[in-house]
Copies of this chain bind each other. A is one copy, B any other.
């Protein structure tokens, strides 16, 4: 305890949760704390709510080390956040995030440096946005510098992101609403009515998931709204056990996402890295292999490393071997 020499407090502040990391030299996580106070679940509304959530999470750390710099990433920088840090346009690297970061003062007198999100706007297409994932990418590049020259990143989830990196910069990305689509279809559509609460036996679930992936693999443009109806008819006709319909739908939606994203990515020789929750990444890795794409790496939560990288780029902590600016 007496040997602890923290250099940074890093906050990963999302919609539904807040995580704080007390970090030492070289980005080691010395302590971490979680709180349910995501930006949509603050203890009170407005600025006072952000202050209170921050104080509850970090107060003890700051009582002990009052001069620690504090950085934050995620939805805390959105227009519904504590202070908006407007999106920077891709291509963007961590230095660009640092240059466009916003500061928000706190009651303690210190200020928190909030990272911006990134906006991509391919010509002729629609804009796309990320907020929080750019920090995960910064973390992945800090931990695995070999991916900085050329890397392809997949962060599966509610809103999956597929991100292209070139020379350390995010050059483009695409969001897939796969997880949310799955959730609203199960909870609010006719498809959910045949789905029981209990799960199928693992081998039955796996077979249904694979059937969904295979259906997706052979899909033609626009097929999705037709294909998902099979999550009803396979149940209605007794061709698939009701408990496995959810797995079939999951396979269909993940398969469609992978089919589309691999089709959009021109370079098959670019290493692909997965970032995210282990079980979900494993599920995606299996689908990717079925499509002939083998992930080179699978990473867990790279947000702490990313926030440390961001703090270095912003001159709030020293990189190894150099003093803080």
| Residues in chain A within 8 A of chain B (CB atoms) | 119, 121, 126-129, 159, 174-178, 180-181, 184-185, 187-191, 215-216, 219-230, 233-234, 236-237, 239, 253, 255-261, 263-264
Beyond A127-B234, A184-B185, A220-B260, 19 additional pairs, beta carbon < 8 A: A119-B237, A126-B234, A127-B236, A128-B229, A128-B230, A159-B190, A176-B225, A176-B229, A177-B228, A184-B188, A219-B222, A220-B264, A221-B263, A222-B255, A222-B258, A224-B224, A225-B253, A226-B257, A226-B261
| Given A127-B237, A220-B221, A221-B263, A226-B189 contact (CB < 8 Å) | no
Can you identify 6 A-B contacts, CB atoms within 8 angstroms? A176-B229, A177-B189, A177-B225, A180-B190, A220-B260, A225-B257
Main secondary structure of the interface of A (DSSP, over half): helix
Shortest A157–chain B CB gap in Å is: 12
Chain B residues contacting A177 (CB-CB under 8 Å) are: 189-191, 225-226, 228-229
Q: Is the CB of B221 within 8 A of A127?
A: no
Q: From the candidates B184, B226, B236, B260, name the one contacting A222 in the complex (CB within 8 A).
A: B260
CA distance A188 to B192 in the complex (A): 14
What 6 A-B pairs have minimum CB-CB distances, sorted nearest first?
A222-B260, A126-B230, A222-B256, A222-B259, A176-B225, A127-B233
| Copies of this chain in the oligomer | 2
Closest B residue to A126 by beta carbon equals B230
Chain B residues contacting A126 (CB-CB under 8 Å) are: 215, 227, 229-230, 233-234, 239
CA distance A185 to B224 in the complex (A): 14
Chain B residues contacting A191 (CB-CB under 8 Å) are: 177
Q: Is the CB of A233 within 8 A of B189?
A: no
CA distance A175 to B185 in the complex (A): 16
Best-surrounded residue of A190, A229, A258 (most CB of chain B within 10 A): A229
Q: From the candidates B119, B187, B215, name the one contacting A188 in the complex (CB within 8 A).
A: B187
Best-surrounded residue of A129, A185, A224 (most CB of chain B within 10 A): A224
CA distance A229 to B215 in the complex (A): 23
Chain B residues contacting A237 (CB-CB under 8 Å) are: 119, 121, 127, 129
Shortest A53–chain B CB gap in Å is: 22
CA distance A227 to B239 in the complex (A): 32
Shortest A211–chain B CB gap in Å is: 9
Q: From the candidates B178, B189, B234, B264, name the one contacting A225 in the complex (CB within 8 A).
A: B178
Q: Is the CB of A175 within 8 A of B229?
A: yes
Shortest A20–chain B CB gap in Å is: 26
CA distance A245 to B215 in the complex (A): 30
Q: From the candidates B175, B227, B229, B264, name the one contacting A159 in the complex (CB within 8 A).
A: B229
Q: From the candidates B119, B189, B234, B260, name the one contacting A184 in the complex (CB within 8 A).
A: B189
Q: Is the CB of A222 within 8 A of B263?
A: yes
Shortest A255–chain B CB gap in Å is: 8
Q: Is the CB of A129 within 8 A of B226?
A: no
